[in-house]
Structure 1
Amino acid sequence: MHAYDDLAAMDRATVLHPFTNLKDHRSGSGPAPTFVTGGQGIRIKDAQGNSYIDAFAGLYCVNIGYGRSEVAEAIAEQARQLAYYHSYAAHSTEALAVLSKRLVDMAPGRASKVFYGLSGSDGNETQAKLVWYYNNLLGRPRKKKIISRERGYHGCSVISGSMTGMSFYHDYMDLPFPGILHAGMPHYYWGAAPGESEEDFSSRLARELEEMILREDPDTIGGFIAEPVLGTGGIVPPPAGYWDKIQPVLKRYDILLIADEVICGFGRTGAAFGCDLYGIEPDLVTVAKGLTSGYAPLSAVIVGEKVYQVIEEAADRVGAFSHGYTYSGHPISVAAANAVLDIVEREDLAGNARAVGAYFQQGLQQRFAQMEFVGQVRGVGMMGALEFVADRATKKRFDSAASIGGKVSAAARRRGLIARAMPHGDILGFSPPLVTTRAEIDEILDIAYEAVREVFDTMPA
């Protein structure tokens, strides 16, 4: 075993960490590396003996909690039997066929087939190619643009990163690519006009979407991609009536609806999928994270019947479906997914997220809604956020240099709680594992309250 200081030096010298100030990390002036050594339930441990409640489930993904030996055993058994084979040219495994049927049976919309990758980013990259392929096969070569939304998050690769509607994912990276558009964000707190109801706000967003489509020419718009609930954009549930008003616009102009269920899927909202909760009828669905609870990398693109029929009918004319990855349908990842879905179904984790999630939402409101610097408390199921503002009455923001969200997150971490400082504002986000109990919710809320109080009680008058 290497000593911690030796590991830290090794890490600083060799690892290119995502979303990290690389100069600070290399020099040692930034936060010390955290070496995570284990986890059980909703807690993780580090190499220095610290224990943390992970109230963000890794990155929204460890729905079943840490340390589930049945998943480890399924992975090990698959590795012993067959660690790898590709799924090109109709090669398969029993576990892959079983998982695909499960996903088709449980998915929202009229699901038909499943394509596999390793991350939500590559899943949404595949979705873009499907939109383009589908319209080419139909003889509509101009119908290619894809509309995302401001503050939507869809990944970090080239096209998925372009779909992501947050500028810091684009800066200095030559993104977004042409052909990716961004409609208005469905964030009532920041986006509504004075006196505008949620329903009226949703109606306006639908009108603005239609105006964008008409301005661009409907014959050039192929797809619309959206999360049922904005995730990294601030954990923002949709305003009342939003999806009921958006979907008719898409149908009017024959625009494919891609539901990005990477965060919401498999129970996080309290329903099996966010689409189920909000009455969304997608043509294409992207899932990842909760599919394996992060125990192995896997994403799935669930292709609806409408899209699949066009692809199949064109096969005699165009030949094979020329898209795939070396690790599409990787046996070990697929084995992990089946074991995870067994737990999700057996323990009714969507039901737990619904019941304990309601307790969580109530606790957030009771603890924080009336605090002086809390502008909004929001969430759904096992997702929640606190947004901090300098003045509640005017919604005046804090100076960005103050990094209030970061300070609250750091104060929580010192107390053994991982809650995320969200981008695009002073926001503290929560997304705990779906196995979290009411007693553990109380612990999360207690520590978060202490952290918020510490930051605001020590602010200069």
Structure 2
Amino acid sequence: MLAEGPDTVGTFVGEPVLGTGGIIPPPKGYWKAIQEVLDKHDILLIADEVVCGFARTGQKYGSHLYGMRPDFVTIAKGLSSVYLRIYGSIIGERVWSILEQGTEQHGPLGHDWTYSGHTLCAAAALANIQVVGPYWLPRMKAELECHPTVGEVRGIGILSAVEFMRDPKARIPFEPGLQVGERAAATLLENEVIARAMPHADTLGYAPPLIIKRGEVDIIVAVRAVDTTYRALKTEGAI
């Protein structure tokens, strides 16, 4: 940013917790340090809360959890738990005040989309926001952290990831061609549990519904997909 000149930078965009990239929570103090730089150079912050919003991290928004002060917040999936398609933007006071001034001077700002304000989607979103719940990550850690192929169980709230490694202690990953993450996800699916093989290394991503109950958490954690994948790799001589 300094090389390009702060005056050429309009906004900084980021997820409070990296989602599709592997469900990676930020290091302690990361967002505080980022916020200080943005404040110093008067640069806007856009918080992508599509994954982290609506209590997925244990707070209403990931921005609350990490002390971020975004000027824009993008929201989508958690807004209706994807029962119906809806998305939106939350605009902070600093930007909104400029829009108000511009409207007074130049007329209303035109911004509209074909399906915006859809009555059914909006009603589903309002009902969904009333429902929330956690007990997830400690159970995942207790069950899987000591497994010989698990390098890390990480996450926040009920957003979590399990990363597989050939040698967890030495942090040596599996060869990409073995597709360990994809195989584990397929085994879970055979047991009626949906998890996502993430593009970041051999990682399974879990984002269960916020209304999940403790008994349902226990059922998901009890599915031995990691053991099944491990045995298959040993049989093939891959480990």
- TM-score, with length taken from structure 2: 0.94
Deviations 1:245-295 (A, max 9, x none): 110001111110111111111111111111111111111111111111212
- 1:232 correspondence with 2:232: no
- 1:452 correspondence with 2:226: yes
Partner-residue secondary structure (3-state), 2:3: helix
Partner-residue secondary structure (3-state), 1:276: helix
* Distance of 1:337 and 1:434 partners within structure 2: 14
Partner-residue secondary structure (3-state), 1:371: coil
- TM-score, with length taken from structure 1: 0.50
What's 1:274 paired with? Answer: 62
8 Å CA contact retained: 2:47, 2:73: yes
What's 1:442 paired with? Answer: 218
Deviations 1:28-75 (A, max 9, x none): xxxxxxxxxxxxxxxxxxxxxxxxxxxxxxxxxxxxxxxxxxxxxxxx
* Distance of 1:444 and 1:427 partners within structure 2: 17
Out of 146, 149, 160, the position equivalent to 1:373 is: 149
Out of 184, 202, 206, the position equivalent to 1:430 is: 206
Out of 334, 339, 343, the position equivalent to 2:122 is: 334
State the Cα distance separating 1:316 from its structure 2 match.
4.2
* Distance of 1:379 and 1:227 partners within structure 2: 14
Q: Trace 1:166-181 onto structure 2 (pairs within 5 A).
A: none
State the Cα distance separating 1:410 from its structure 2 match.
0.6
State the Cα distance separating 1:322 from its structure 2 match.
2.9
1:442 maps to amino acid: D
Q: Trace 1:147-226 onto structure 2 (pairs within 5 A).
A: 213-226=1-14
State the Cα distance separating 1:315 from its structure 2 match.
2.4
Partner-residue secondary structure (3-state), 2:113: coil
What's 2:51 paired with? Answer: 263
* Distance of 1:421 and 1:443 partners within structure 2: 20
* Distance of 1:266 and 1:221 partners within structure 2: 29
What's 1:383 paired with? Answer: 159
Q: Relative to total residues, which structure has the larger helix share, 1 or 2?
A: 1
Computed over aligned residues only, the root mean square deviation of the Cα atoms, in angstroms, reads 1.4
Answer 1 or 2: higher relative contact order, Cα 8 Å, separation at least 6: 1
What's 1:393 paired with? Answer: 169
What's 1:104 paired with? Answer: none
State the Cα distance separating 1:393 from its structure 2 match.
2.9
8 Å CA contact retained: 2:22, 2:200: yes
Number of equivalenced pairs: 235
Partner-residue secondary structure (3-state), 1:247: helix
Partner-residue secondary structure (3-state), 1:263: coil
Out of 252, 255, 264, the position equivalent to 2:40 is: 252
Instruction: Point out where structure 1 has 5 or more consecutive residues left out of the alignment.
Output: 1-212
* Distance of 2:195 and 2:72 partners within structure 1: 31
Instruction: Give the greater-gyration-radius structure (CA).
Output: 1
Partner-residue secondary structure (3-state), 1:291: helix
1:319 maps to amino acid: G
What's 1:298 paired with? Answer: 86
Tell which deviates more after alignment, 317-326 or 279-288: 317-326
